[in-house]
Amino acid sequence: MTPLDRLQQIGRIPLGLYPTPLQELARLRSHLNVRPRLLIKRDDLAGPGFGGNKIRKLEYYFSKALRQGYDSVITCGAETSNHCRITAAIAAQTGLECHLVLSPASQSGVPASLFLDEIYGASIHRVADSGSRASAMAELSDSLRAAGRHPMEIPLGASTPLGALGFVRAISELESAPGVIFHSSSSGGTQAGLLAGLRLYGFRDTHLVGVSAGDTAAEVRESVQSILSGLELMLELPARTLLTEIHVEERFAGPGYGIPSPESQEALRLLGRTEGIVLDPVYTAKAFAGMLAYLREGRLDSSSSVMFWHTGGQLALFSATPP
C-alpha cells in the first residue's frame, strides 16, 4: 500500500468546497513588471465559517468525532481566532456541541470572529491570557466527562499530524507544479502538510516558503519538523522519508504576532487595489509582503510561476456590533 493509499483510508468528512479556486494575478504581475506568472490559491473561499485553511484540518478531527461517538468538541484560541470560529461553524453543521476557551484580543470592539462564535451557538469560556488556555481546556473536559458527556479536545489550530493531512491532500488539487509557493506559517501544520504533499505527489522541484506571522524561524521549523515526523507514522513511512529543507522567512513578522507592519499594510492594499482580493492583517498580509519582497529583489526571476496560498482570516479586519 502506498502512502497516498493510506491517506485515502484515514477518516475524513468532506466539509470544504474543493478544489478551491486557483486564480491568475495578471494585473498585479503587470503592476510589478515581473517575469514569473503569479497565481493565488483561494483557500479563503473554502467553505464554512468564512473559509480558511482550518477547514482542511478540521475535516479529519470532525470525522474522528463522529465516528467515535463524541458528542462535543473543545478547542481554544484568542477571541479573534479563525480556528475557533470555523470549529464552531462546523460543530453547528454536524450537530456537535462546541466549547471554546478564549483569551482576550487586543482588538477594540467585539471581534467579528467572537460575534460569529456566538451566532454558531458555541459556549464561550473566558480565560485571562493565552497561557491559561490549555489548563482550562483540560479542566473543562474533565467537568464535561463528570457530567456524562463525551468531549473531544482539538489542539490549538488543529496543527497536528492529523490536521496536517488536510494539506497533504490539498496538493492533489494542483494540476501542475509551481516553481515557488508562499504561505503564512505559524504553528506549522499547514507548512508540514504542504511539504509532505509536494513530496508524495511528486512535485519535488517546487520550493515552499513559509513566512512567519510572529515566531522565529527556528521555532516554526521545529514545529514543522515535529509534525512531519508524526505524518511519517500516520502514513506508515520509514523515519526521515519526509526529511527536507524547511524554509521559513522571519523578516516580515513585523513588530510581533498580530501587529501589522508597514510592509504588510502595503501588501494588503496592493492586492486589494490590483486584484480585488482581501488579505488579513495577522497572517496573509505578512506572507504576501514576503512574496512581494522576493519578487522585487529579483530572487524569483528564474521561476516560471509563483503561487500564493491564501489561508483566509480576513474577518480579523472587522469588529461587530451585536444586534
Query: Which amino acid would we find at residue 201?
Result: Y
Q: Is the dihedral of CA 313, 52, 212, 74 positive or negative?
A: positive
Q: Which of 231, 243, 181 lies closest to 211, judged by CA?
A: 181
Three-state DSSP class for residue 28: helix
Report the DSSP beta bridge partners of residue 40.
23, 308
Instruction: Tell me if 224 sits within 8 A of 188, measured CB to CB.
Output: yes
CA atoms within 13 A on the CB side of 80: 21
The candidate with the shortest Cα–Cα distance to 93, out of 124, 57, 66, is: 66
Cell of 45: 473561499
> The cell 512581494 sits on which residue?
292
Q: How far apart are the first and last CA of the chain?
A: 54
| Phi/psi at 117 (5° precision) | -50, -45
| Eight-class DSSP state of 203 | -
Candidates 135, 128, 83, 124; CA nearest to 104 is 128
Q: Which residue has the cell 500500500?
A: 1
Give the residue numbers annotated as catalytic, written as ranges: 81
Distance, CA of 318 to chain centre: 19
